[in-house]
Structure 1
Amino acid sequence: MRTALVIGTGLIGTSIALALTSRGVRVHLQDHDPEQALTAAALGAGDTAPAEEPVDLAVVAVPPAHIAATLAAADARGAARAYLDVGSVKGGPRRELVAAGFDLARYVGTHPMSGRERSGPLAATADLFEGRAWALTPTPETDTEVLNLALELVALCRAVPVVMDADAHDRAVALVSHTPQLLSSLVAARLTAAEESAVRLCGQGIRDVTRIAASDPAMWIDILSANPGPVADILAEVAEDLDATVRALRALASTDAEEHADGAAGVASLLRRGNAGRRRVPGKHGAAPAAYETVAVLISDRPGELARIFADAGAAGVNVEDVRIEHATGQQAGLVQLMVDPGAAPVLSTALRERGWSIRA
């Protein structure tokens, strides 16, 4: 791939463009908002000058409702030899293209499973997709050269290709992306009317659950409008679980021993199912989840403290597998939770204590 056209210079489009330009591909940028395209160009994502001849690959990074029309318009002017989109929904746009008579041989639908709570070109980074899954949904009509260009794009963005059927993709993202967004928003919405004293008790759990609730509502309306059926189906199943859990909790409050036991069994069943589902979430580098031990270290909110603790862990010969920070309420301090191999936890704890760190149980 020598040349590419990125249509849509939001977070995803600009991040793709940055990754491609950093690896020697000449990228042309296009957006319905010329100022946004100029912003992406100023960041080094490419240039806004039209290509003098068809590019190798056109990447359509627009909301799902506009994918088919954007692809058709680009093809009508002969913009590229091959086309792909990076929308979060695949089945609907493909059916619209078929209805419009688009040549599916020169197109493949894709979806990089990466994003941020912020949107727009200023939130873009060239490494946004590194190590992340990138779904590709070729059809029997997809030309081999087009699929190879799509795979090359994924490789240049240092993502991991996953080939699947378009409708299976839409059901999958409804489960692992779209429904979690709504559930996060539902939990966060409970905080709007909460007493200030309750909000001040927020800990890491509520921060984890509500992190993606900060996402742009307009963007999510576009996404959910393109995949409402599968999301509604999953939410209906969640609603059944919620009803059962409410009944179990009411029973748990009962003074009747048998009813109380039934309630406890119902809640325990849900928690065990949650444990089982969590174990299926891929771990580091996509491997099976590993069991780590946490070493919690008190850390002050000063420049260089994180760098110092990582340096001390490295000096102890311990690899930190994951890290979380739990900020203390009303204090300029917090707990850094270092997840390490269980066998390395005692070594790390001892080494950090010897270097003056306060280890918390």
Structure 2
Amino acid sequence: MRTALVIGTGLIGTSAALALAGRGVHVHLVDHDPAQAETAAALGAGTDRAPEGPVDLAIVAVPPAHVAATLAEAIRGGAARGYLDVASVKGGPRRELEALGVDLTTYLGTHPMAGRERSGPLAATADLFEGRPWVLTPTRDTDTEVLNLALELIALCRAVPVVMDADAHDRAVALVSHTPQLVSSMVAARLQDADETAVRLCGQGIRDVTRIAASDPRMWIDILSANPGPVADVLAAVAADLDGTVRALRALDSGDDGRREDGAAGIADVLRRGNAGRTRVPGKHGSAPTVYETVTVLIGDQPGELARIFADAGRAGVNIEDVRIEHAAGQQAGHIQLMIEPTAVPSLIDTLQERGWSLRQ
């Protein structure tokens, strides 16, 4: 691949363009808002000048509702040798293209499983896709050359190719992406009118659950409008669990010992099923999840403190597998949780105490 055309210079399109441009591909940028394409070009993602002829690969990075029309225009105009989109829904756009009578041999639907709470070209990074799954949904009609171009794109972005059926993909993302967004937003919505004293008690748990609630509503309306059925199916199952959990909690709140036992059993059931489901979430590098030990350290809110604690962990010969930071309310300090292999705990604790860190049990 020597040339590419990125249509849509939001987070995903600009990030792909930055990755390609950084690896020597000449990238052309187009957007319905010329200012966005100019911004992406200024960031080093390519040029906002139109290509003089067909490029090797056209990447359509527009909202799902506009994918089919944008692809049809590009394909009929002969913009490239191969075409793909990066929308988070795959079945609907393909059926729309078929209804438009477009030749789909040069088209391949794809979806990089990466994103951020922020949108737009200024949120883009060249390493957004590194190590992340990138779904391909080829059909029997997909031209081999187009598949090879898509695989080259994924390799240049340092992502991991995953081949799926389009409708199976849509059911999967309804479970692992679209429903979590809605649930996160529903929990965060409870905070809107909450008493200020309650909000001041927010800790890492509520921060974890509501992190993605900061996402752009307009973007998610586009996504959910393209995949409503599968998302509704998952939410219906969640709603059944919520209803059962509410009944169990009401039973726990009753004065009847028998009902209280039933309520406790109901709560235990949903928590255990949650434990079992959580263990299926892939761990580091996509491997089976690993149980790490957590070492919690009090850390000041001054420049260089994070670098210092990481350096001290390095002196102990300990690899930090994951990190979480919980800021202390009303103080210039917080707690940093270092997730490490269980066998490394004694060495890390000894070194951090020797270096003057205050540890929390």
| TM-score scaled by length of structure 1 | 0.99
The CA distance in 2 between the partners of 1:75 and 1:254, in whole Å, is 65
> Distance between the aligned counterparts of 2:255 and 2:95, measured in 1?
57
User: What are the equivalent positions in structure 2 for 1:21-60 lying under 5 Å apart?
Assistant: 21-60=21-60
1: distance between equivalents of 2:75 and 2:95?
17
| Partner-residue secondary structure (3-state), 2:4 | strand
- Per-residue deviation, 1:167: 0.2
How many residues get paired?
A: 361
TM-score scaled by structure 2? 0.99
- For residues 241 and 75 of structure 2, the distance between their equivalents in structure 1, rounded to whole angstroms, comes to 47
Aligned to 2:159: 159
Q: Give the aligned partner of residue 81 of structure 1.
A: 81
Q: Percent identity?
A: 79
Structure 1 equivalent of residue 132 of structure 2: 132
How much has 1:139 moved relative to structure 2? 0.9
Cα distance, 1:76 vs. partner? 1.9
Deviation per residue, 1:91-150 (Å, 9 max, x gap): 000000111111111011000111011100000000001011111101110011111110
Partner of 1:316: 316
Cα deviation, 1:6-52, whole Å, max 9, x if unaligned, reads 00000000000000000000000000100100000000000011111
Counting only pairs closer than 5 Å after superposition, residues 1-361 of structure 1 correspond to structure 2 as: 1-361=1-361
Alpha-carbon distance in 2 for matches of 1:157, 1:272: 38
Q: How far apart are the structure 1 equivalents of 2:254 and 2:209?
A: 29
Worse overlay, 101-110 or 208-217: 101-110
Q: Name the CA distance, whole Å, in 1 between partners of 2:17 and 2:109.
A: 18
Per-residue CA deviation, residues 179-237 of structure 1 (Å, 9 max, x unaligned), is: 00000000000001100000000000000000000000000000000000110111111
User: In the TM superposition, what is the alpha-carbon distance from 1:256 to its structure 2 partner?
Assistant: 1.4
- Find the aligned partners of 2:345 and 2:107 in 1 and give their Cα distance: 50
Which moves more between the two structures, 17-26 or 44-53?
Answer: 44-53
**Could you say what secondary structure the match of 2:320 adopts?**
coil
In the alignment, the residues of structure 1 paired with residue 340 and residue 279 of structure 2 have an alpha-carbon distance, to the nearest angstrom, of 18
Q: CA RMSD in A?
A: 0.6
Q: Aligned with 1:105: secondary structure? A: coil
In the TM superposition, what whole-angstrom CA distance separates every residue of 1:293-337 from its partner, at most 9, and x where no partner exists? 001010000000000100110011000000000110010100110
Q: Which moved more, 1:255-264 or 1:162-171?
A: 255-264
Distance (Å, rounded) in 1 between the aligned partners of 2:315 and 2:215: 39
In structure 2, C-alpha distance between the alignment counterparts of 1:136 and 1:75, rounded to whole Å: 19
Farther-moved stretch of structure 1 (252-261 vs 58-67): 252-261
